[in-house]
């Protein structure tokens, strides 16, 4: 609550002068480091990046990712005018068309996935508050624009691709991912959020890493089928 001091209205706690909490972008980055490390270390990711997953396994994974991005991009349409979520929503970085092109290349697979069901349900619930959706948006798209860029190069090498099949990692509208990410972080940091709200977004980011980890864990159960 704002306090009246000497007749003037003091600034609310959402303002950093009284509130030394880190900017949202820094909070999310540092606050989810352990979860990020766990995601990087998942055995499915390690096997994939070591070139030990076959094409059928990668196609399976793309099919699951498609469901995730379909839910993300449906939610983004719903929240297009939301005062918080609209700060990050950008049709230019949407991945569904790229995923469809890749799925076509690899051969589509529709596989039942309780881990993906849980993730999609959580994305759908996140439309109840723009801040929650931001957590979902940040964790996937900023990841795709970061480590995802290196992952795309490794997939290209390991599967000996000549450009087709890795549209997911290539953002035609973003020639310089670093500049895009800097601007994205600046938009996050300009949001008028209180400390509790920022913590709620961080908690959701951690949950989103966990849901991605759930998909990796599920993929791991297929390793004997997809090894090469």
**Which residues lie near ligand HEM (CB under 6 A)?**
28-29, 36, 39-40, 45, 49, 138-140, 142-143, 146-147, 150, 209, 212
C-alpha 37: how far from chain center: 15
C-alpha 189: how far from chain center: 18
Give residue for tokens 């697979």. Answer: 109
- Surface-to-core class of residue 157, CB atoms within 10 Å of its CB (0-12 exposed, 13-18 middle, 19+ buried): exposed
Distance (Å, whole) CA 99 – CA 29: 26
Nearer to ligand HEM, 103 or 151 (CB): 151
Q: How many CB atoms lie within 10 A of CB 95?
A: 23
Q: In the bound complex, what is the minimum distance in angstroms from residue 127's beta carbon to ligand HEM?
A: 19
Q: In the bound complex, what is the minimum distance in angstroms from residue 138's beta carbon to ligand HEM?
A: 6
Q: In the bound complex, what is the minimum distance in angstroms from residue 8's beta carbon to ligand HEM?
A: 37
Q: In the bound complex, what is the minimum distance in angstroms from residue 65's beta carbon to ligand HEM?
A: 10
Nearest CA-CA partner of 185 in 19, 26, 72: 26
Q: In the bound complex, what is the minimum distance in angstroms from residue 1's beta carbon to ligand HEM?
A: 32
Q: Which residue is nearest to ligand HEM (CB)?
A: 147
Nearer to ligand HEM, 11 or 116 (CB): 116
Distance (Å, whole) CA 121 – CA 114: 11
Nearer to ligand HEM, 79 or 208 (CB): 208
Nearest CA-CA partner of 228 in 36, 45, 56, 111: 56
Residues belonging to the chain = 228
Nearer to ligand HEM, 84 or 134 (CB): 134
Nearer to ligand HEM, 103 or 139 (CB): 139
């Amino acid at each position: 609550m704002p306090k009246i001091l000497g007749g003037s209205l003091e600034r609310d706690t959402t303002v950093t002068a009284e509130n030394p909490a880190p900017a949202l972008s820094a909070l999310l980055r540092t606050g989810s480091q352990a979860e990020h490390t766990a995601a990087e270390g998942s055995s499915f990711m390690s096997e994939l990046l070591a070139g030990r997953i076959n094409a059928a396994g990668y196609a399976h994974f793309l099919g699951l990712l498609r469901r995730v991005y379909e839910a993300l991009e449906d939610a983004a349409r719903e929240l297009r005018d939301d005062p918080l979520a609209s700060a990050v929503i950008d049709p230019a970085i949407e991945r569904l068309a790229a995923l469809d092109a890749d799925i076509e290349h690899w051969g589509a697979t529709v596989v039942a996935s309780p881990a993906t069901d849980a993730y999609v349900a959580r994305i759908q619930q996140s439309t109840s508050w723009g801040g929650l959706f931001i957590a979902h948006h940040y964790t996937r798209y900023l990841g795709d624009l970061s480590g995802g860029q290196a992952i795309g190069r490794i997939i290209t090498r390991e599967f000996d691709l000549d450009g087709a099949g890795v549209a997911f990692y290539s953002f035609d509208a973003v020639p310089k991912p670093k500049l895009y990410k800097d601007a994205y972080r600046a938009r996050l940091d300009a949001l008028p959020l209180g400390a509790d709200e920022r913590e709620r977004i961080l908690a959701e980011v951690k949950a989103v890493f966990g849901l991605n980890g759930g998909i990796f864990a599920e993929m791991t159960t297929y390793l004997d089928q997809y090894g090469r």
